[in-house]
Amino acid sequence: MARTRAPQGFDRVRAIATSLPGVEEGTSWGVPSLKLRGRLLACMASHKSAEPGTLVVRIGFDQRDAMIADDPGTYYLQPHYESYECVLVRLARIRRDALADLMHAGWRFVDRTAPKRRAVRPRATRR
């Protein structure tokens, strides 16, 4: 099976994200993605409303709004993505240190919102 070449720029994202605990490569909606224990962390935007070379990163609404207000040339949003806790990132515009900070923030967000596993109780022994 031939491996699809990831869009240019995603290699930077992959290098940063796969250094974080529990992050694995995958695909989502037919595009390269990164997942934290099976939950989406980031992927290349696949919706037609996103600009080419756009990365989608899971992040909370408040942080997303602050990022867009602070640097609308790098971070943006399209109506399709408004109801999702994510931000759109122009990969050609983001500095490596900012991308690393964003991936760490996304990792913390996904980890914090993941359903917590319940501790397995030992079975009571019969006497």
Q: Mean per-residue pLDDT for 83-104?
A: 96
Q: For residue 55, is it within any domain?
A: yes
Judge whether residue 86 has pLDDT over 60. yes
Judge whether residue 117 has pLDDT over 90. no
Domain count, the chain: 1
Q: For residue 120, is it within any domain?
A: no
Global confidence as pTM = 0.83
Q: What is the mean pLDDT of the chain?
A: 88
Give the domain extent around 71: 10-112
Q: What is the DSSP letter of 110?
A: H
Give the span between the Cα atoms of 103 and 15, in whole angstroms.
Answer: 11
CATH number (domain holding residue 76): 3.90.1150.30
